[in-house]
């Protein structure tokens, strides 16, 4: 800017500052260049007597580029009042400003002006209109313009695809994407992001792999979308490949990309790697802290999660509602009642955050896990808002763990009154009765579910084997290796007994085969575990690890809070690979993710 100001001084002395061409070049550098100064350029513009349409467009564009859309629109009004007519470039900047502000009604006015002045058919204007309508979810208008466009370029295609993606119409977006004559990294990333937004994570990784085959380098958005898919699917190998790609190409590890990496490693169970990435991030916000806190809490490192809250405060980052849900969950998993209650009270006293229903649910879960059922019931009764299915479900699960049949029945009645009685609630109640060996009530619940057509949402389990993610759904029998899987599940029980596991350790619900297929767990081993002593299950884990072959790597993760009934099938599968003739190497190194109902 020092040299520019020197040039400006010479222009003023020589009198050529009034020349529109020289003034335009000077303003353009100040306003648009990344080394310029917009405020200085705007001051030059304001004191300029002789302006041209190019100069007006330059200053409008500058404010749009700096995300000051309202100011850009205000300058356009001055332009019209000064007697200047907009051209195709003017409209392209105005439409970008409207898209930034989601001002569809104002965009319609500019659209009408563009038609009146004969600028609608120009590529810049058409792309701007499609982008505006797509951003405002007016997909009928966007597609109508796209369909009538004679000069569709990659920007036009990407704009309409991005619009369908953002409006949740991913199928239509994919159809258009497949028809694109030419794709760039932005169009690929838009499609990847769309699949991630609707939870089609397998499609995300498939498309990301296709992108590599096509020789297109992924941009920032594509990498974040792929990492979110790896996190959900537990696809650690692919997540590591993306991390290596970021390092190899020396991509900037900003907050968004760094947080995506932390989340991926945390959800795949690699907490050391998650912590390393977190520490390497130049800047960290509340989302980065919350991702790591959540990972530490989910993997039993509650002390580290709580310490991170202190570090968060020291770095001047204020926690949000989700942060406290993760911290309270960490306290719940470790039975830290006093610490959890202290943090709960600090939400409003220290941080000015009023606890929501999710936070009360965490406190109920915290008290319920340690057997303080009456205190948990009191929290439910005195909480300032209506308890939801999570709160009542947490207390219901505590009743299952501690065998309180009467209170469990009371909780289910409360859920029924609030129309929150989905299939998982009834299954939990049946498990409570099964734990108490009240099989008559279990049968009664099953028949009641059939009569009311109440169904549990089928669980979905995912295993990564040699970089390939395999999906299993409860009751599904379409897998190409289904015969081997069924045989493996049958012989697993026999193999467990050969290592002195008796019937009391194997989940009792396995003996109750009357449940319909859609209520079975996606692990295809058992419907649920009704063993009430968590120590038995964790001792089983230790015992199974002892008899695994040397150098076997076992990594199990789950989104469910009830680890007993989730890890049993994983351990049984893993143990079976020790001796099953078709599975000696098949499942010895895998990741496991379960998304079925718990608490």
Report field, pTM of the whole predicted structure over 0.85: no
SS3 string, 55-70, reads: HHHHHHHHHHHCCCHH
Q: What is the pLDDT of residue 51?
A: 85
Q: Crossing angle of helices 357-369/373-382, nearest 10°?
A: 170
- 184 is written with which tokens? 């760039």
Q: What is the pLDDT of residue 449?
A: 66
Question: Which helix (H) or strand (E) element contains residue 496?
Answer: helix 482-498
Distance CA 469, CA 117 (A): 55
Cα of first residue to Cα of last residue in the chain, in angstroms, is: 62
- Contact assessment for residue 268 and residue 239, using Cβ atoms and an 8 Å cutoff: yes
Backbone phi, psi, residue 524, to 5°: 65, 25
Distance CA 333, CA 302 (A): 8
- 268 is written with which tokens? 């795949």
Backbone phi, psi, residue 463, to 5°: -125, 135
Distance CA 28, CA 33 (A): 7
Q: What is the pLDDT of residue 453?
A: 64
Q: What is the pLDDT of residue 454?
A: 59
Q: What is the pLDDT of residue 99?
A: 94
Output the CA angle 286-291-292, nearest 5 degrees. Answer: 105
Give the number of C-alpha atoms closer than 13 A to the C-alpha of residue 441, restricted to the C-beta side: 17
Distance CA 401, CA 417 (A): 23
User: Residue 506 carries which DSSP code?
Assistant: S
- Contact assessment for residue 446 and residue 515, using Cβ atoms and an 8 Å cutoff: yes
- Contact assessment for residue 450 and residue 516, using Cβ atoms and an 8 Å cutoff: yes
User: How far does Cα 537 stand from its chain's mean position?
Assistant: 31
Distance CA 520, CA 522 (A): 6
Instruction: Sheet containing 460-465: give its strands across.
Output: 468-473, 460-465, 591-594
Q: Using CB atoms within 10 A of its CB, is residue 589 exposed (0-12), middle (13-18) or buried (19+)?
A: middle
Between the CA atoms of 439, 441, 442 and 445, what dihedral angle is there, to the nearest 10 degrees? Answer: 160
Distance CA 188, CA 201 (A): 15
Q: What is the pLDDT of residue 544?
A: 39
- Contact assessment for residue 1 and residue 15, using Cβ atoms and an 8 Å cutoff: no
Question: Which helix (H) or strand (E) element contains residue 469?
Answer: strand 468-473
Instruction: Specify which residues 593 forms β-bridges with.
Output: 462
Distance CA 79, CA 113 (A): 14
Per the listing, tokens 């260049």 go with 33
Distance CA 532, CA 284 (A): 41
- Contact assessment for residue 420 and residue 389, using Cβ atoms and an 8 Å cutoff: yes
Where are the chain's structural domains? 197-283, 460-594
- 483 is written with which tokens? 């015969």
Instruction: Specify which residues 473 forms β-bridges with.
Output: 460
- 286 is written with which tokens? 């509340």
Task: Please give the average pLDDT of every successive group of 10 residues along the chain, which has 599 residues.
Answer: 54 56 72 73 80 90 92 95 94 95 94 94 90 91 89 87 89 93 92 91 93 92 95 91 94 93 94 95 94 91 90 93 94 90 93 93 91 88 84 78 71 60 61 69 69 59 61 64 69 61 43 40 36 36 41 48 49 47 36 34
Q: What is the pLDDT of residue 93?
A: 95
* Helix, coil or strand: residue 470: strand
């Amino acid at each position: 800017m020092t040299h520019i100001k020197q040039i400006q001084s010479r222009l003023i002395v020589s009198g050529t500052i009034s020349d529109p061409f020289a003034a335009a070049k000077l303003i353009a550098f100040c306003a648009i260049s990344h080394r310029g100064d917009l405020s200085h350029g705007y001051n030059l513009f304001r004191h300029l007597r002789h302006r041209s349409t190019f100069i007006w467009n330059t200053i409008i564009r500058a404010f749009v580029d700096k995300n000051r859309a309202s100011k850009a629109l205000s300058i356009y009004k001055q332009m019209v009042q000064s007697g200047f007519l907009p051209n195709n470039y003017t409209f392209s900047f105005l439409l970008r400003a409207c898209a930034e502000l989601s001002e569809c009604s104002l965009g319609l006015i500019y659209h009408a002006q563009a038609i009146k002045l004969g600028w609608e058919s120009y590529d810049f204007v058409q792309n701007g209109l499609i982008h505006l309508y797509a951003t405002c979810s007016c997909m009928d208008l966007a597609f109508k313009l796209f369909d009538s466009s004679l000069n569709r370029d990659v920007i036009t295609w990407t704009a309409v695809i991005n619009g369908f993606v953002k409006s949740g119409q991913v199928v239509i977006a994919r159809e258009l994407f497949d028809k694109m004559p030419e794709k760039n990294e932005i169009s690929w990333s838009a499609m990847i992001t769309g699949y991630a937004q609707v939870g089609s994570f397998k499609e995300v990784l498939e498309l990301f792999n296709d992108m590599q085959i096509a020789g297109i380098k992924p941009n920032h958005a594509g990498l974040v979308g792929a990492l979110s898919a790896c996190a959900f699917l537990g696809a650690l190998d692919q997540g590591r490949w993306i991390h290596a790609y970021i390092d190899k190409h020396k991509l900037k590890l900003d907050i968004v990309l760094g947080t995506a990496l932390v989340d991926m490693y945390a959800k795949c169970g690699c907490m050391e790697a998650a912590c390393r990435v977190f520490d390497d991030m130049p800047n960290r916000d509340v989302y980065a802290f919350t991702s790591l806190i959540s990972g530490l809490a989910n993997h039993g490192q509650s002390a580290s999660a709580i310490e991170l809250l202190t570090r968060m405060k020291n770095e001047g980052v204020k926690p949000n509602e989700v942060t406290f849900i993760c911290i309270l969950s960490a306290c719940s998993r470790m039975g830290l009642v006093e610490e959890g209650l202290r943090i709960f009270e600090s939400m409003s006293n220290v941080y000015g955050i009023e606890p929501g229903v999710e936070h009360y649910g965490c406190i109920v879960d915290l008290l319920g896990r340690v057997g303080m059922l009456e205190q948990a019931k009191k929290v439910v009764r005195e909480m300032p808002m209506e308890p939801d299915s999570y709160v009542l479900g947490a207390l219901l699960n505590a009743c299952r763990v501690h065998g309180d049949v009467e209170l469990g029945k009371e909780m289910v009645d409360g859920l029924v009154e609030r129309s929150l009685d989905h299939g998982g609630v009834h299954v939990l109640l049946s498990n409570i009765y099964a734990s108490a060996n009240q099989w008559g009530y279990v049968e009664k619940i099953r028949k009641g579910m059939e009569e009311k057509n109440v169904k549990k949402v089928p669980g979905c389990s995912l295993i990564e084997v040699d970089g390939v993610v395999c999906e299993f759904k409860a009751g599904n029998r379409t897998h190409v290796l289904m015969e081997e899987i069924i045989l493996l599940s049958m012989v697993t029980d026999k193999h467990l007994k050969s290592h002195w596991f008796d019937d009391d350790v194997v989940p009792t619900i396995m003996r109750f085969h009357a449940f319909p297929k859609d209520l079975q767990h996606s692990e295809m081993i058992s419907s649920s575990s009704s063993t009430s002593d968590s120590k038995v299950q964790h001792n089983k884990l230790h015992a199974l690890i002892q008899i695994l072959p040397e150098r076997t790597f076992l990594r199990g993760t789950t989104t469910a809070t009830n680890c007993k009934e989730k890890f049993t099938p994983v351990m049984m599968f893993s143990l079976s690979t020790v001796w099953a003739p078709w599975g000696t190497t098949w499942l010895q190194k895998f990741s496991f993710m379960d998304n079925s109902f718990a608490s």
